Amino acid sequence: MTTPKNKLLSRLSEWVRLNLLLLLCMVLLRPLFFLEVYFRLGLEWRQLLTVLSGSFFDVLLVSRIFTFGLIPFLLVYYFFPKLAKGIFKGLIVAYAVVVALLAEYFCNLTMPLDHVILVYSVEELKTTVFSSSTSLSWVQVLWFVLQVGLAVLIIVKSEKWKVFRFNTICFVVGFAVLLILLVFVPYKRIIRNEKVYSNRNDFCLAVNQPSYSYIKITDYWRDEGSKRGEENYTLSTSQLSAYQACHPEFDYDHPGYPMYRKTTDPDVLSPFFEHTSDGLPPNFVFVIVEGLGRRLTGVNDPQLSFTPFIDSLANAGLFWPNCFSTSERTFGVLPSVFASAPHGRYGFAAEQPMPRHHSLLLDLDRNGYSASFFYGGNSEFDHYDLFMEVNRVDDIVIPERMVADSNEYYLLADNNRWGLDDDQLFDCAIQHKLVKSGGRPHADIYLTLSTHEPFLVDDIERYEEQVKVMVEQQPDLDKKERDNVLRNLNVYACYLYLDQSVHHLVDYYASQPGFENTVFVITGDHRMALVPTGIALRNYNVPLVVWSPLLKRSKTMGAVVSHLDITPSLNAWLNSQYDYTINDHCHWLGTSFDTVSEYRNMRKLSFMRNNRDVIDYFSDQFFINKNALILMDSSVIGFPIDKPSLLQQYQDELGNFEAVSRFVVQHDVLMP
């Protein structure tokens, strides 16, 4: 005879069994996730333990599902037992589908999905997802099928497993344990703070990705929802005073304009340069390379270089290996390089209308320069074209606009490519310059694309063979570097292709009148994200090369500089040495380059992530990575230290900067 007590225990046993199936699915999906990342990105086998240790997150998640889902399950099960079990089994399969999709996202961007999907517009998301990123391959389908198939297999096989039987005491004790986990282990706080592991890379590998994504997205949605309608973001007097006190090198003398200061940046470049032959200011060629990081292969001391020509310019010119971008993606590079501007809330160029600002481009225009911008993709993405228009760039040359009816772009779209290959862009620019001959002085700006996902250029097989030869010629190559290169042949082939394209571009300028009076500035917009470094600061570490026939001597500077320093340095040099006028006040966040040979950091740099969070900060010897304090050295690796008061000091500095940054951009008070 079945008693009410036995019926209740049967239902509770079924609930326990279903939750254990979910937990089993979560834990068994972890090795598959590790293998996918291992084969597609490259990990060390020891990191399997990191991934498996994340089962701790799975247990905490199941404890919440078990506790909060108990009553609803019992109610549905009472009337529709098959429906109750079917719904939960469907949720297990749905969980596996979500995990598989998030694993694909992780392999593409080397980080879990967060609220970045709420930051971009619908059009920008369509550009990123459907007409760029990576094309679908059988390997991706295989991993998806394996992960979802595992969940289905567990459910099917579980029908033959004996149902767990519990007496009342066992259930009460187990339920009490889950309640203790629920109440005393702050699951959401752990995920938000990311402090369980020594570095963020390990945390991202270990965390339960569906719950990480859910928490990050819902937090952002809630926080942004509470701010909707807040048109007047305020700035306290204490925040303003504290921010300006952190920058005693600047003379702020305009109340109401927190970043507006006297232009006192010294000329540090003239000792390195001869005067131009005609007495006019020099021409400039800016080449901003997609994903050009200091360490392309991800290892600490790479032996192979896939940019030998750019390296030769660095060796013959002025080179800063410890240069930093201010954002994790391309959206920040133009405002940083050409306007030394703050982020604001979503990135400077994203603010509409764009705040009034000074810039190197406006100063060049005022001093008689003609300027051109060349880009082979969608220039509306991240408002590249709008930034150039606001800054009075004469020619915004987007080949797609010029050959809109060409089959070239349809072919590129079919192959999921962002735009023209770099050689095609440079050839288009050369043809444009031949048709429209410019006088002296002029400034040309190139933003490249070929070293972006999906890492595909015309005749890529030829460059892949060259990469293989380079690897074979290095028998003593570090195994990790060798494996990484051979696993990602197309990636490094694209960098080799880019380097040869830049060589071709420089050769063109060398054949033109005025080459002897031309200065080349080459940097990366951010570090290439495909190969994880495990060190957050390296995500922003890009090389900076200044090369010119005008150089008297070469020098490699170990000091820290950033994209923010390019405009102040060039303006100070031109003003000091030529008939070139600049404003007596500016809003530059940066200052003149630090040209000492030894490593040191005299900068205070905040960094904006792709999701528009600003939680990374580099000041003095320390790097703040959200809630971690890391003592840095010239290796840009550093090691964590436990000094809560010092951590709080730098977090306060970052908070004050963010408050001022948002205020001046939102209220359009960068300059009077």
In this structure, the answer to whether residues 583 and 523 fall within a common structural domain is yes
| Residues contacting residue 390 through CB under 8 Å, at least 6 positions apart | 354
Total domain count, the chain: 2
Comparing 35-49, 218-232, 456-470, 495-509, which segment has the lowest mean pLDDT?
A: 218-232
Task: Please report which confidence band the pLDDT of residue 1 belongs to, taking 50, 70 and 90 as the band edges.
Answer: very low
In this structure, the answer to whether residues 440 and 494 fall within a common structural domain is yes
In this structure, the answer to whether residues 438 and 325 fall within a common structural domain is yes
Rounded percentage of the chain residues whose pLDDT exceeds 90: 53
Last residue of a domain, one of 581, 602, 623: 602
What would the pLDDT profile of 586-633 be if each residue is shown by its tens digit? 999 999 999 999 999 999 999 999 888 898 999 999 999 888 899 998
CATH code of the domain containing 488: 3.40.720.10
In this structure, the answer to whether residues 489 and 567 fall within a common structural domain is yes
What would the pLDDT profile of 546-571 be if each residue is shown by its tens digit? 999 999 999 999 999 999 999 999 99
Residue among 407, 505, 401 at smallest CA distance from 450: 505
| Residue 284 burial (C-beta neighbours within 10 Å; 0-12, 13-18, 19+) | buried
Q: Is the predicted pLDDT of residue 241 greater than 50, yes or no? A: yes
Residue 234 in domain: no
CA–CA dist 81, 465 (Å, integer) = 61
Residue 78 in domain: yes
Last residue of a domain, one of 602, 618, 639: 602
Residue 634 in domain: no
Residue 667 in domain: no
What would the pLDDT profile of 429-479 be if each residue is shown by its tens digit? 998 887 666 678 999 999 999 998 888 888 899 999 999 999 999 988 988
pTM above 0.85, yes or no: yes
In this structure, the answer to whether residues 171 and 69 fall within a common structural domain is yes
In this structure, the answer to whether residues 487 and 593 fall within a common structural domain is yes
Residue 438 in domain: yes
CA–CA dist 422, 291 (Å, integer) = 13
Residue 613 in domain: no
Q: Is the predicted pLDDT of residue 647 greater than 70, yes or no? A: yes
In this structure, the answer to whether residues 145 and 222 fall within a common structural domain is yes
What would the pLDDT profile of 99-152 be if each residue is shown by its tens digit? 999 998 888 777 888 888 887 766 666 666 554 445 556 777 888 889 999 899
What would the pLDDT profile of 488-546 be if each residue is shown by its tens digit? 899 999 999 999 999 999 999 999 999 999 999 999 998 876 666 667 788 899 999 99
What value does the mean pLDDT take over residues 207-227? 85
Residue 528 in domain: yes
In this structure, the answer to whether residues 212 and 333 fall within a common structural domain is no
**Average pLDDT, whole number, for the chain?**
87
CA–CA dist 544, 547 (Å, integer) = 10
In this structure, the answer to whether residues 390 and 528 fall within a common structural domain is yes
Residue 639 in domain: no
Q: What is the span of the domain harbouring residue 524? A: 262-602
CA–CA dist 209, 195 (Å, integer) = 16
In this structure, the answer to whether residues 135 and 275 fall within a common structural domain is no
Rounded percentage of the chain residues whose pLDDT exceeds 70: 88
In this structure, the answer to whether residues 142 and 272 fall within a common structural domain is no
In this structure, the answer to whether residues 199 and 315 fall within a common structural domain is no
